[in-house]
A and B are shown apart, each in its own frame.
Chain A
Amino acid sequence: MITFMNNSDSEEEPCNERTSLMSAESPPVPSYQDGLQASEAGEAQTHRKRRTGGSRSPNNAADGNMSGSSVPVRESALENEEEELTLKYGAKHVIMLFVPVTLCMIVVVATIKSVRFYTEKNGQLIYTPFSEDTPSVGQRLLNSVLNTIIMISVIVVMTVFLVLLYKYRCYKFIHGWLILSSLMLLFLFTYIYLGEVLKTYNVAMDYPTLILVIWNFGAVGMICIHWKGPLQLQQAYLIMISALMALVFIKYLPEWSAWVILGAISIYDLMAVLCPKGPLRMLVETAQERNEPIFPALIYSSAMMWTVGMAKPDTAARGPSQQTWDTAEDGRENHRSPSHSDSEILETRSPVPTHPITSLEELEEEERGVKLGLGDFIFYSVLVGKAAATASGDWNTTLACFVAILIGLCLTLLLLAVFKKALPALPISITFGLVFYFSTDNLVRPFMDTLASHQLYI
């Protein structure tokens, strides 16, 4: 889900946003925050299933599919300037999100194409118990629909559970859960991935080196994601774990179930974010009310705001914050008028909000970053990866799905700029992606193949 984070307070009150990833701006500019969906709950559970072979441990370290909810954007007094800045920063946001989504997809497609492990059928997850090796088409369809129902209900249950935990302030439990799930992703899945890549390229690696590499990778990842770290490193790690998760899904979801699940989850995303009682929406709104950041491990943000929990002069804050922030937006400084940088406030990115910021300077803050949930990354990559794995037209289909997803993301961000509230990022992109996948595979592929065999160009 793509959400805009805005201040939960009314327009008159100071903006007390304390999202972990935000960029501060000058007062007239409204703040945009996007929350996104994270489907790590389902993933972590599936991981555990694979590893332990079916014994369900009581501690579900998986994060439920969480969609970041969007917080209503605070309207600025100057509508024109707001609109113009909306479009300018909207364009920036689009690009800021294109790059990570593209990178994630590239990693997934490259792995699928080269490492055969992820396209072999080695069994199914416990969440998709019905097999698809049935003789008749109707039976297969029925099985895939049943698989989808089971999977979606698992995701719904996990999300509701997470939202309830959040509502009743069981932060320690949630953090333990998140930490456990990212531990598993960072260590176990990376180990398996590295093993398979080494096997494919026939490279020998001894165990001490392996332990060293995996330990460093995992430890730095944990620190970056859950605590502090350079923004780009954190983004890189989030991309990596999304790609790993997507690869697991691609491997263990049977063919038709995967497509039906993709469709169903975009419908679920739509409902969970837009319905008033939807779990994701409640999560975002609760986070807004409490002025807390949504868990950093579940959301990819394109810019970071550092705020210090005390009133301080603007000039002192500007230095370091600009440093971390400007790395992401080098070429765009000429857009900003000098007044924009005045009210950047530094915030320490701590998962547990201990002290709400109430300084008046925050009135003039504006987040410029856009947040996308990790679940969205994962499902985009699952779509493109499945297209790469199963389409017989190979690259054309993959490319078509890739373009379709990017266009969907563009449209969603456009809608986000227009509506200024949290929006589900999945439906439009996944719909386009599915339409393009099926149509390209069945219609365009024979056409292009025939053209290419005669070496005709159109």
Chain B
Amino acid sequence: MDTFAKEFHRRTRCDSAASRPQFTNCPTMIVMVGLPARGKTYISKKLTRYLNWIGVPTQVFNLGQYRREVVQTYKNYEFFRPDNEEAMKIRRSCATNALKDIANYFTKEQGQVAVFDATNTTRERRGVIISFAKERGYKVFFIESVCDDLEIIEENIMQVKLSSPDYENYDKEEALVDFLKRIDCYKLSYVPLDEEKDRHLSFIKIFNVGSRYLVNHVQDHIQSRIVYYLMNIHVTPRSIYLSRHGESELNLLGRIGGDSGLSSQGLKYAKALAEFIRGQSIKDLKVWSSHMKRTIQTAEALGVPYEQWKALNEIDAGVCEEMMYEEIQATHPEEFALRDQDKYRYRYPKGESYEDLVHRLEPVIMELERQENVLVICHQAVMRCLLAYFLDKSADDLPYLKCPLHTVLKLTPLAYGCKVESFYLNIQAVNTHRDRPPNVNIARKTEEALQTVPEHQ
């Protein structure tokens, strides 16, 4: 078989062997618009995290950070007064530098999406950005956050502004007063996106944290996904609990995959989990499991209604299902080495890769964003993917995240990220975590390959 020619041919005709085409040709600039404390940075970071997780290389460029690097110490709101010529010069030069870095990100670093996080409140500033993008063939999509609710604005300020480097030397009340004056500096010159005047632009206007949206001229797939994502996220306080099923019979034997039931320790964990959940007194908790016996048995012990998601099933190990690592090494040593070389992209023969898992889990993540308090009872590889989304872990880190049995992770959104609390429920279980061994070469010896295999029966 002319495999080399075929492989070459295939590479030139089909750009990607990922699970799913990305449909992005031009780089896209997402441009935030809005007064301070309207959630622009929150949206920028969250959106960036989501896009990176689904495989679209994205980076945030926060203008405030550029400014802090130039003006080492922040004095007060006067810097932002519209008549402060000196400051205006600095701010304009920061914007220019940020745009330069964006161009660099696209051309030299294979970036796909750049999020330009700044107020961009004047038509003039937006005009500059649009010209910049047009010259280089980048698409532009604006995200404007409009909010008049004083309570929300003050809550924003409390959560993220008071702890900003700008206000290190201020006490709380002073900081609040200064920040409100800062917002006033922008108000006079603020020109919101207009459905008539800006009808040729592509944008979404978010009103009052999502009660209303105006969407104009969505150009392509990625913009459509971005709009869908933005329309599903919310800021209502809640917690997401992630846990694996209790220890299973196959876990005890050091075998991967399969559809076995819980071991006696696993059953103990299920009961401990029920007690733990009761102890947390969670409002309106939703419980999700996969379609596999071990997560369902675990959920059953909680004594509450739960939903089964096929999408939460463990990674399909194909021909390696139900094997021990020692057996995989014996029967498929090359596969075993390839997996260690790139655990994220490696696909088991007739099975799946972590990359495939992420695509399979995308609807789960979308629904988790819509929901409030949820307990997800799933599996090791699945939990790693979900955790990587919430904690913004790279594709390289993802497959090695520690998700031990009998441990519940409680994730609570906080400021721009996620607080993680880990609860080990004190029920013994085997360790199923296999670290990346030092030698990942195909020619390695058996002992080197099996060096990091955890103990089992």
- Mutual binders A and B: no
A residues in contact (CB < 8 Å) with B: none
